[in-house]
Structure 1
Amino acid sequence: MQFENENIYHIYNQGNNRQQIFFTRDNYMFFLQKIKDYILPFSDILAWCLMPNHFHLMIYVNKAKLDFINQNINRTRTLNQSLAIMLRSYTRAINLQENRTGSLFRERTKALCLTRNTELTPSYFNSEFGTVLNIDMPELNYVQVCFEYIYKNPIKAGLVNAPEDWEFTSYLDFTGIRNWQLINRKRIEEFITC
């Protein structure tokens, strides 16, 4: 994955062999803390949804690379490295909790750039309504469609009947039902039509 400043990315991964990655409410909360610690320093979060066997993040990258001081040594870390550290750390904790070994997530985490059309990013998005071109129509814009897709994920999986019924999504924060302060509402308003 190569992240670039001032672009929006849809980041997602699922359990290896589609296995469960969250076993308790505490696991979901622990993963959210990891997002806060490892992703938030680099980006603004526009949307997130944690499902029993996968996760989705939509982020706006402010800085793809940051300097950190660790034990009086100045080191540079990229968002890509920080994401990898986050997933490894979470995997170690779950392996310990579940008395298991090995990979928890699929080998490759996906990160699709939603704001740039290059040879690496498709100019279309397959949705439940068919193929949507990444065009300048707010209701059909790739960013808008992906934003809504993330929130509809628990419904599509048959876990709930409405997005506000799933606790582990930023939909509750976006709509003002809850205020966990992980998303950046001001940044969302720049890209999403409500």
Structure 2
Amino acid sequence: MKFETHSVYHIYNRGNNSQKIFFTEANYLFFLDKIRKELIPHGDILCYCLMPNHFHLMILTPEDFKSYDLNNAIGILLRSYTRAINLQEGRSGSLFQQKTKAKELIDKNNNNAVNYLATCAHYIHLNPVRAGLAEHLNQWRFSSYLDLAGLRNGTLCNKELFFMLSGIRKDEFIKESEAMLDFKRMSFK
């Protein structure tokens, strides 16, 4: 993956053959701790969601970073987590799909693209509802929705930076999240 300086990326990967990657609550917490140790030195986490068989991260790259360092950090995160799960589950081999995907969310030539940050965050946070793991966004502990909505005081995400870059206020974010949740519920019927 080639990362540009001072840009926002939606980074995601899933288990091989869509298999589970998180087996216990401790696995989710361990992965979040690994994100803090491996990725935060290379960028700001703006939002995230961990699902039983995949994960989503939104990250802002700083002005003074090297693309190689972030790629290397993602590799270390996934390899070290895989080693721990393989030991825990008595398995071997790759846990994640070979290629982690990253989509740049800010088109530097299009000012309207910045608003896509909030839309992407809603998409990321709606994953547990779409999968039937939660009825409401505030019921899934392993996402940053609780932090961005002011319902938890987590420190993994840079909340202020998320709201500044997305161009919306916290109350607008909550209203938009609720509206998208209502829309998704209507779509399931």
Q: What band does the TM-score fall into relative to the shorter chain?
A: 0.7 to 0.9
1:191 lines up with 2:182 in the alignment: no
Taking only the aligned residue pairs, the percentage that are identical comes to 51
CA distance in 1, matches of 2:3, 2:113: 25
1:98 lines up with 2:99 in the alignment: no
> If each structure's helix is expressed as a fraction of its own residues, which one has the higher value?
2
Q: How does 1:42-81 map to 2 (within 5 A)?
A: 42-62=42-62, 63-65=64-66, 78-81=69-72
- Between the two proteins, the alignment pairs up a number of residues equal to 167
Corresponding residue for 1:33?
33
The one-letter code sitting in structure 2 at the alignment partner of 1:64 is: F
Q: Deviations over 1:51-100 (max 9, x none)?
A: 0000000011114329xxxxxxxxxx610111101100000000000000
Corresponding residue for 2:126?
152
**Runs (5+) with no aligned partner, structure 2:** 174-189
> If each structure's strand is expressed as a fraction of its own residues, which one has the higher value?
1
Retained in 1: the 8 A contact 2:107–2:113?
no
Retained in 1: the 8 A contact 2:7–2:106?
yes
Corresponding residue for 1:19?
19
1:89 lines up with 2:111 in the alignment: no
CA distance in 1, matches of 2:49, 2:65: 22
Retained in 1: the 8 A contact 2:106–2:113?
no
CA distance in 2, matches of 1:150, 1:180: 17
RMSD over equivalenced CA pairs, Å: 1.9
Give the structure-2-normalised TM-score: 0.83
Give the Å deviation of 1:190: 1.5
The one-letter code sitting in structure 1 at the alignment partner of 2:123 is: Y
The one-letter code sitting in structure 1 at the alignment partner of 2:112 is: D
